[in-house]
Amino acid sequence: MERFLVIGMFVGVGWLLRRLPVFPRQTAQVLNLFALYAALPAVILLKAPQIQFSQEMLLPAVMPWAMLIFSAALVLWAGRVFSWSREVVGVLLLVVPMGNTSFMGVPMVLAFFGEMGIPALIVYDQIGTALIFAVYGSVVLAVYGSDVRIRPAEIARRAILFPPTLALIFGLCFRSWSYPEPLPGFLKTLSSMLTPLTMTAIGFQLTVRLSPATLRPLGFGLAVKLVAAPLAALAACRLLGFDALSANVSIFQAGMPPMVVAGTMAMAAGLAPELAAATVSSGMILSFLSLPLLFWLI
């Protein structure tokens, strides 16, 4: 509970900093970039050598792809039933299946599961979310975006050169060796910055502007992302007899709010920017209620 309260305090700091004119509008982007290129790779470099390849770790690798199929199918069904525009469907196909499993995931998993939950989180995030974003996200942008054309070679390049992916590859290569001093201490200090950076950035970005036209797709998207998807993951795991730590972390990750980067890409592609921004911001706010409830159910 103490770690969860600390997370909330950093979000509050970010919200307050936004009110100070001395901080530029791009502050959250800078914080997120530092987290993406430095703090998150440091976490992965520290924890990747601890990943034990076993049947237990298959679930965190498979779960995000199952959630992708589940969520995308519901979005396509709702788009047809409610006759939503192409732009609305495109936004929901981006932000609903892909969760904030790194920037939001790491602090939350640490708060509720401790250090032991990080290896499963890394598998879920890198083999799942990161690859889904690189491949599936690029395809959705190409199909639904305005004048967006992405080549397969570009998709492969993004997936391989993504900083956390490079950190995972490098970390796995060091499974049989120890990092030379003083690298472990440096990585530990750098990794400890992830929660302050990402949670402050989230607080800085918290703005919710709603119009009546966005309420139905917004409500549907968040209901799928924060409620239906994690409950489906929970039911599937329990029916199949999965109750190990890796399974519980996977269920928890399935309930993470929409990925910030996915929302940003949707807005850049001209896909209903108001809906994209509202889904990401509202999802982050509501997740501070939904994630503790999900952990209680687990």
Written as six digits, the tokens of 170 are: 């490098």
* Domain chopping of the chain, boundaries: 54-178+213-297
CB-based contact 97:68 (threshold 8 Å): yes
d(CA 127, CA 144): 25
- The conformation of residue 256, written as its DSSP 8-state character, comes to P
| Most confident stretch, 70-79, 109-118, 188-197, 198-207 | 70-79
Residue for token digits 């060091």?
174
pLDDT digits (tens, 9 = 90+) for 143-165: 887 655 566 666 667 667 778 77
Written as six digits, the tokens of 108 are: 């939350």
pLDDT digits (tens, 9 = 90+) for 253-280: 999 999 877 887 777 677 787 888 788 8
The CB-side HSE value for 228 (13 A sphere, CA atoms) comes to 19
Angle at alpha carbon of residue 122, lines to 118 and 124, rounded to 5°: 115
Tell me the Ramachandran region of residue 199: left when phi exceeds 0, alpha when psi lies from -120 to 50, beta otherwise. Answer: alpha
CB-based contact 184:46 (threshold 8 Å): yes
